[in-house]
Structure 1
């Protein structure tokens, strides 16, 4: 339960320390005194969005602290241990909002994120705001309320997971088919390009080899003339280099015989002779390799022309053309892959949808069962709230199990059901949607009925009702007060109200008061004793002028409520 609320510089609250107890706590005060600001402060420590507008004028930061107490440290153990916090029977949440934008969250003194706070605070408090009963007019909310009442959150989560799997595969198939259509438009052109490149029978490095071959063929005569002349100078002709080296060797031999220290000169000549012989042999190979073949030259020229034409389209290099050819081959081959992938996805989609239908069908059956129980329970509570002959229903509309197309059209992450709350407040009237027949007072009572029933499902240990008295008064208000009093026997209930018929049922009563001077406005909260409660109820009953009769009436209400 919420045991303490400490507020500093929040809206028009300068400083506030509110100690709360089990049972029904009532907050009253004039309109605009700041009662709903307290609800805003509670929302802040539960993880709602913070803004600089929350900071009181003239202050640099606003702080809200809340202390929750539990019977056992195990209650929040699964939420505290992942944050590195020791489980305890007391939980302290603190939020600070600054004008500089450096907002901070502390959980039991440890710095935390807003996301961590939201996960931790979920389910600690259930807050019904001033206009929440209007939300009941939206059928989308009815499905959520039914699931919460029937404790179907786990089943709904499984349906959502199955739907997302099915939707993911459908999206993959849509993208594949879109790509397939786009590829089909390009397929003819791609096939023409591939045919042209494959017909060329491209080989890696052939352009360089052909260029080299063309140079040889084109300059065969020049090559032959130069190689032949070089061969003659070195070996063939009279007085060739090798012949001269032999003569040189004989002369050097004479020198060595006289001066043996010059033996190295003979080695130089021998090395030169070896090199010249190798050069002569190489020139013979050059001469034998030279081809005078105009036909082959024409073939090479034609091939290089083909490569040049293809290079303009797919180049500029031969490597680029080969890469393009391989890409087109892969693209053409992937058509078969696309067909296979399409077939695979279609089968997986059918399987995923069957799984979804099974889970959604099971959820639909459980929702119908829960709707029957909810109808009976709501009618019982409404009877206690001065609607004894009202009829209520939670209509669950489900597509025919045999109509696959209808199931696909109705499929959502929440299932295939459409749930709408129906009401007949008076005998003889047909059940109709709340939006068409329910008054503000009836909506308020239905909301209270649902909150009462949801609290039995363990929705939260603390329930906050901000002006649940909208559209009611007199006898009905008294019955609502009694209902809140009964609810407070099991839960901590905090109720903001303008009606004395409700306020008198509180075990604890606080008055919210606003004070203003020339420079500022402040809100204060005072715990009322028995005498002050009588005066506050008298104010609520009598308005500006409070008489002894009004005070007596207030005492009577308090006695009656006890």
Structure 2
């Protein structure tokens, strides 16, 4: 559950600490007090897109920290993750936003990407608000509700794998079955490119070798002059003794007096090493000095011409010879695909037929599962809605086969079914899509009914309801409050409400209040004791003028709720 929430410099909240309790928590306060800011803060924990507009005026950073406890069961749904609770079974999630609007997330002390944050946080918290009501009016969302209720996650994942394989086959077939004139133009271009590269007879590393050769040719006269000087100095000279001969003389001299000089053998060995080195360098450099170009200018022209050719190919096919050769290989592969397109299309058609067969088999299992689940979902939702003061309601899950423009079975990301929820709120009225008949109050109750039914098997999650009381009042509000409290038996429930009846049903109540300090507006959050709850519930019922009668009514509502089963 969400044990505590720390909010710092978010909008009009300078600093707030909220310690939520187990069971049913409500947040109340006057309109504009800042209840929506709490929802925005929790959405940041869920990985919502950050905005620098959320940062309190005059501050450089905003942050929200959430402490979760007893989360082993819901966290297990996150799949493979390096994140785990601490030894006390707790997990910290912190999100900060800087002045540039950039966010940083830390979970359990580790910086994590937002994708991991969303994966983990979504297993711990779910928020249900007015946006859910709007989504509920779209048939596209109904299939998701039904699959969630049916527990089709694994089957959907298996089906989607074949759906992607089918799409890949069709894409490749479309690429191969291109227009014949376009195919001919592409073949001509590919053949030209391959021939253009092959004609150059490129070799790996050739450009570097040519560049080095060009430098040698440009400096050939200087190289020859200096290498001859080196050869004369080190190894071979007609006018004076080179270093090699001097060392050899030194060796002979040392050998003649070796009996009289300690360590003479070591000195002779070292001098021999020097002589061998001088000889090796001298002979190597001598070979270089004898390497003359018959026509340096002609050789330079040849090298420049070759480098120019490589440069032109690089401008067309890649930044270096390796990339040019890789381009050539890709072009050859594409040419082969085109020339063998008919054969490859036939092979892909066989694969596609097999993928479609397996996908259809899985889709049929999904349809069967959905139809079976729809029967119990209809009964459960009708029962929930009857409890929520819609006693004459009829609710049906309409499942139809998806069809394309030609009337053939259409494969979608979720199978071969179109699903839509139909409703009749009053006797004698036909079943119609929710978007055409449901009012705001009815949508709130339908959404709560669906959430209640889906949450029946959930354990240890935090369910947040933002203004679930929209469009309802009186007895219906009380029933909604009682249903939320029932949900809180196995989950933590947090609800933002304007309803006194819902607030009275809660185990814990927090007051969100806006006040002015030092010329600035601040929002504070305070947990209320019994006296505070009576005053706040009376305010919700009566507004400015809080009478003794309102206070007595508020106390009676709290006592009535406390007497019912499930009160903590």
**2:403 pairs with 1:377:** no
Q: Give the match for residue 434 of structure 1.
A: 434
Change (3 A) 1:420 1:46: same
Instruction: Tell me how far apart the structure 1 counterparts of residues 348 and 529 of structure 2 sit (CA, whole Å).
Output: 71
Any idea what SS the aligned residue of 1:154 has?
Answer: helix
Change (3 A) 1:77 1:551: closer
**Structure number with bigger Rg:** 1
Change (3 A) 1:152 1:335: closer
Q: Give the match for residue 444 of structure 1.
A: 444
Instruction: Tell me how far apart the structure 1 counterparts of residues 25 and 160 of structure 2 sit (CA, whole Å).
Output: 39
**2:368 pairs with 1:365:** yes
Any idea what SS the aligned residue of 2:477 has?
Answer: helix
Post-superposition offset of 1:347: 1.5
**2:68 pairs with 1:68:** yes
Post-superposition offset of 1:439: 1.0
Contact 1:23 1:493 in 2 (8 A): yes
Change (3 A) 1:376 1:451: same
Q: Give the match for residue 318 of structure 1.
A: none
**2:401 pairs with 1:406:** no
Post-superposition offset of 1:372: 1.1
RMSD: 3.1
Instruction: Tell me how far apart the structure 2 counterparts of residues 554 and 505 of structure 1 sit (CA, whole Å).
Output: 11
Q: Give the match for residue 340 of structure 1.
A: 343
Contact 2:176 2:345 in 1 (8 A): yes
Q: Which runs of 5+ in 2 are unaligned?
A: 196-200, 202-329, 563-568
Q: Give the match for residue 272 of structure 1.
A: none
Instruction: Tell me how far apart the structure 2 counterparts of residues 448 and 522 of structure 1 sit (CA, whole Å).
Output: 33
Any idea what SS the aligned residue of 1:406 has?
Answer: coil
CA deviation vs aligned residue, 1:245-291 (integer Å, no higher than 9, x gap): xxxxxxxxxxxxxxxxxxxxxxxxxxxxxxxxxxxxxxxxxxxxxxx
* Most deviating of 71-80 and 483-492: 71-80
Instruction: Tell me how far apart the structure 1 counterparts of residues 417 and 443 of structure 2 sit (CA, whole Å).
Output: 23
Instruction: Tell me how far apart the structure 2 counterparts of residues 84 and 508 of structure 1 sit (CA, whole Å).
Output: 29
Instruction: Tell me how far apart the structure 1 counterparts of residues 350 and 133 of structure 2 sit (CA, whole Å).
Output: 46
Change (3 A) 1:59 1:530: same
Any idea what SS the aligned residue of 1:122 has?
Answer: helix
Contact 1:73 1:89 in 2 (8 A): no
Instruction: Tell me how far apart the structure 2 counterparts of residues 559 and 103 of structure 1 sit (CA, whole Å).
Output: 45
Post-superposition offset of 1:122: 2.3
Q: Give the match for residue 303 of structure 2.
A: none
Post-superposition offset of 1:502: 1.0
Any idea what SS the aligned residue of 2:493 has?
Answer: strand
Q: Give the match for residue 110 of structure 1.
A: 110
Q: What's the TM-score once normalised by structure 2's chain length?
A: 0.70
**2:176 pairs with 1:176:** yes
Any idea what SS the aligned residue of 1:419 has?
Answer: strand
CA deviation vs aligned residue, 1:479-526 (integer Å, no higher than 9, x gap): 111111111112111111101111110111111001135732110011
Instruction: Tell me how far apart the structure 2 counterparts of residues 328 and 528 of structure 1 sit (CA, whole Å).
Output: 73
Q: Give the match for residue 354 of structure 2.
A: 351
Q: How does 1:23-172 map to 2 (within 5 A)?
A: 23-70=23-70, 72=72, 75-76=75-76, 82-83=82-83, 89-101=89-101, 103-172=103-172
Any idea what SS the aligned residue of 1:94 has?
Answer: strand
Q: Give the match for residue 390 of structure 1.
A: 393
Post-superposition offset of 1:407: 4.1
Post-superposition offset of 1:544: 1.1
**2:507 pairs with 1:507:** yes
Instruction: Tell me how far apart the structure 1 counterparts of residues 177 and 98 of structure 2 sit (CA, whole Å).
Output: 53
